[in-house]
Amino acid sequence: MGLVLLVVIWLITFISGYFFIAKTWWLPAGASVAAAGIDHHFSTTYILMGAVFVAAQVILGYFAWKYRDRGSASPQAQYTHGNNTLEITWTVLTLILFVGLNFMSSSIWASERFRPAAPGAVQVEVTGMQFAWYFRYPGPDGKFGATKPELQDASAGGEGAVGLDTTDPASKDDFVTGTMYVPLNREVEVILRAEDVIHSFFVPAMRFKQDAVPGLAIHMHFTPITIGDYEIACSQLCGLGHYKMHGILKVVSQEEYDKWLAAREAEKQ
């Protein structure tokens, strides 16, 4: 039985470990400035915790086999209540490992989250509602107009869906789309809002996730570095349509973005 346990535990460890090492299913390719740093730290954590995982399971399986009771062939168990030096040693080492990992990641966290968006960032207001995403751009005046919940009317298109208050002069040039366009290599400031329940804006390739909370306007930023279409998924349970609340983030060249922007703004005149 000891041998069976060793084999089973080791097999489970090595099989699951294989898929982890082979990266058969892995993080999607990173497409933002932050991705490289995050992925690097992910790998560091991965390697260290992976080593601990394998070591612990291998030792467990090995001990289960080695110290099995073989009747008279086995010596009496070693009567010991423990070893204080060992306790202190492994406590300190574990503490260093865990807190060390944490401090390493904190500098990345700080650079992502402790500073607001740079001036000149492309501003997009992202509004989540059951079960769609809407993207509002401020237009040439660079200001977002007022919205009123009472005015919300999804059947009246994007502007209606977010409840745009047309009496506000700043609203005149705002436009709302169902697809999010951003230019390459420029910081994007995302202002997250929600109309009904909590949603969450997640773009795996950008390593970007943030809950959209009703009653708050949450400012976040990221910088895309690869042209392409990226799926946006809702990552906070929001009701029966949660699984199909998705959108598309299109990262395009600056020229293409300018063309698209000009076309949208022209429609508003």
Partner 1 sequence: MATGEFAAHGAHAHAAPTSWIRRYVFSLDHKVIGMQYYFLALTAVFVGMMLSLLMRIHLIWPAASLPLLGEIKPETYLSLLTMHGTIMVFFVLTTAPQGGFGNYFLPIQIGAPDMAFPVLNMLSFWVTALAFFVMIAAFFVVGGAPLHGWTGYPPLSALQSAGPGEGLGADLWIISIALFCIGALMSALNFITTTLDMRAKGMTMMRMPLTCWAWFITAILGLLAFGVLLSAGILLLLDRNAGTSFFVPLVTINGQLAGHKGGSPLLWQHLFWFFGHPEVYIAILPAMGLCSQLLSVFSRKPIFGYKAMVYAMLSIGLLGFMVWGHHMFMSGMSPYTAFAFSVMTMAIGVPSAIKTFNWLGTIWRGRLRFTSPMLFALGFVSLFVSGGISGPFLAQPVLDIQLHDTYFVVGHFHLIMGVASIFGIFAATYYWFPKMFGRMMNESLARWHFFISFIGTYAIFMPMHYLGMAGHLRRYSQLTELNYLHGLVPLQTFMTYAAFVTIAGQFIFLFNLFWSMKFGKKASDNPWEATTLEWTTATPPPHDNFGGHMPVVHNGPYEYSVPGQPRDFVMQTDPALAKAH
Partner 2 sequence: MASTNTTAAVDAAGVLLGDHGRLDSGSAEFSVRLRRARLGLIVGLTGIVMIFVSYSSAYVVRKGLPTLDPQTGTLVHDWLPLQLPNFLLVNTLVLLISTLTMEFARRQALRDAIPAMASSDPATSGSSTPGVPWLSLTAILGLSFLAGQWLVWRELAAGGFYVSTSPSSSFFYLLTGTHGVHLLGGILALMAASATSFLGQPAESRGVAVDITAWYWHFMTFLWVYILCLLEFAH
Exactly one of 54, 64, 146, 198 binds partner 2 (CB under 8 A); which one? 146
What is the rounded CA–CA span in Å between residue 14 and residue 1? 20
| Amino acid identity, position 81 | H
Beta-ladder partners of 202: 209, 233
CB 116 within 8 A of CB 219: yes
Residue numbers 14-33 binding partner 1 by CB under 8 A: 16, 19-20, 24-28
Per rule CB under 8 A, is residue 125 in the interface with partner 1?
no
Per rule CB under 8 A, is residue 58 in the interface with partner 1?
no
Per rule CB under 8 A, is residue 59 in the interface with partner 1?
yes
CB 228 within 8 A of CB 210: no
What value, to the nearest 5°, has the Cα angle with vertex 172 and ends 266 and 167? 155
Residue placing its CB nearer to partner 1 in the complex, 98 or 253: 98
State the nearest-atom distance from the C-beta of 217 to partner 2, in Å: 6
Of 2-10, 83-91, 142-150, 222-230, the window that binds partner 2 (rule: CB under 8 A) is 142-150
Identify the residue whose tokens are 């915790």. 49
Exactly one of 14, 47, 98, 116 binds partner 1 (CB under 8 A); which one? 98
Per rule CB under 8 A, is residue 222 in the interface with partner 2?
no
What is the rounded CA–CA span in Å between residue 199 and residue 235? 7
Q: 236: which DSSP letter?
A: S
Residue placing its CB nearer to partner 2 in the complex, 207 or 221: 221
Per rule CB under 8 A, is residue 149 in the interface with partner 2?
yes
Which tokens go with 14?
């090595």
Chain residues binding partner 2 by CB under 8 A are 144, 146-149, 163, 165, 193, 215-217
